[in-house]
Amino acid sequence: MKIRNQVKLSFMSVPENVPLARSAAGAFAAQMEFTLEDLEEIKIVVSEAVSNSIIHGYDNDPNRIVTLLCTIYEDAVLELVIEDEGKGIPDVPKAMETAFSTDPERMGLGFTFMQSFMETLKVESAVDKGTRVIMTKKPPRRVAASSELISEEN
């Protein structure tokens, strides 16, 4: 599929970079015809995935690298890829279950948000190699404004 625009952001695994990744993804997605609600959801899923890389993937080690890759394909699909080279997930389907967390302090809702806010979600992970989260979303089909409909009729 032909790429129309792409941004790659690599950053240290410190919590200060979560809002950076979140805003970058939101600003990038804003060039497509997403609603404000969509953009808010896009920012949430990026926060969740990046936080997971930092907290779970790297066990809060600040000296590792998380990568965010944002791509717009020609058929107006937004793809977000969040990648780490951390400890990986031994059982991906289990990790993706609602309310599952390996940390008793956490809610286990990150993947659930990703699943409900995005159109597709794919998690590729290997123990001691890392995790890649791939998500896509399409802007809603544009509905012509009533004034446009009238002018078409005339």
Ligand X SMILES: Nc1ncnc2c1ncn2[C@@H]1O[C@H](COP(=O)(O)OP(=O)(O)O)[C@@H](O)[C@H]1O
- Which residue ranges make up the site for ligand X (CB under 6 A)? 48, 52-53, 56-57, 84, 86-89, 95, 100-103, 106-111, 131
Place of tokens 């279950």: 97
Instruction: Scan for tokens 């993804």, then name that residue.
Output: 25
Q: Biggest alpha carbon distance in the chain?
A: 65
> Quick one: what does residue 76 bind among Mg ion, ligand X, none, with the CB cut-off 5 to 8 Å set by partner type?
none
CA distances in angstroms from 99 to 31, 80, 87, listed in the order given: 34, 23, 21
Q: Confirm or reject binding of residue 26 to Mg ion (CB under 5 A).
A: no
Q: DSSP alpha helices (H): ranges in the chain?
A: 17-29, 36-52, 92-95, 110-117, 146-153
At its nearest, how many Å lie between ligand X and the CB of residue 103?
Answer: 5
Considering the candidates 22, 41, 48, 132, report the single residue annotated as catalytic.
48
CB of 143 to Mg ion, least distance (A): 35
For Mg ion, the closer of residues 18 and 32 by Cβ is: 18
Residue among 110, 118, 131, 135 that touches Mg ion (CB under 5 A): 110
At its nearest, how many Å lie between ligand X and the CB of residue 152?
Answer: 47
DSSP codes joined into one string, 17-41: HHHHHHHHHHHHHTTS---HHHHHH
- Which residues bind to Mg ion, rule: CB under 5 A? 52, 110
**Active centre residues (catalytic):** 48, 52, 106
